[in-house]
Amino acid sequence: MKLITLIWALTIILSFNTEGLGDGPPGPPSEPNPQIIVNPTSVDFGSVIVGTATMTTTLTIKNTGNADLQIINISISGTNASEFSQTNNCTSPVAPQGTCTITVKFSPASTGSKSATLIISSNDPDESLLNVSLTGTGEAPGEDKKGVCFIATAAYGSYLDPHVKVLREFRDKYLLSDFKLQIAKFKIEIPNIIGKAFVAFYYKVSPPIADYIRQYESLRIATRFVLTPVVYGIKYPFSLGLILLVGVTASLRRRKQ
**From CA 118, how far away is CA 59, in angstroms rounded?**
11
pLDDT given for residue 22 in this prediction: 47
Strand partners, 79: none
pLDDT given for residue 20 in this prediction: 45
Paired sense of beta strands 99-106 and 84-88, if any:
antiparallel
Strand partners, 87: 103
**From CA 125, how far away is CA 106, in angstroms rounded?**
31
With both helix axes pointing from N to C terminus, report the angle between 237-256 and 217-235 in degrees, rounded to the nearest 10: 90
Which of 53, 108, 43 minimizes the C-alpha distance to 80? 108
pTM beyond 0.85, yes or no: no
Q: What is the pLDDT along the chain (257 residues), one digit of tens a residue?
A: 555 555 555 565 555 554 444 455 555 556 889 999 999 999 888 777 777 667 788 899 999 999 999 999 999 999 899 999 999 988 899 999 999 999 999 888 888 899 999 999 999 999 889 999 999 888 765 544 444 567 888 888 777 778 888 888 888 788 777 776 666 666 666 777 888 888 778 877 887 888 788 778 888 889 889 888 888 888 877 766 666 666 666 666 777 66
Paired sense of beta strands 179-183 and 36-39, if any:
unpaired
Backbone angles phi, psi at 183, to 5 degrees: -115, 110
**From CA 76, how far away is CA 84, in angstroms rounded?**
7
Cβ 188 vs Cβ 180: under 8 Å:
yes
Strand partners, 113: 137
DSSP string, the chain: -HHHHHHHHHHHHHHHHHTTTT--PPPPPPPP---EEEE-SEEEEEEEETTT--EEEEEEEEE-SSS-B-EEEEEEESTTGGGEEEEE---SPBPTT-EEEEEEEE--SSSEEEEEEEEEEES-SS-SEEEEEEEEEEE-TT--TT---HHHHHHHS-TT-HHHHHHHHHIIIIISSPEEEEETTEEEEE--HHHHHHHHHHHHHHHHHHHHHHT-HHHHHHHHHHHHHHHHHHH-HHHHHHHHHHHHHHHHHHHH-
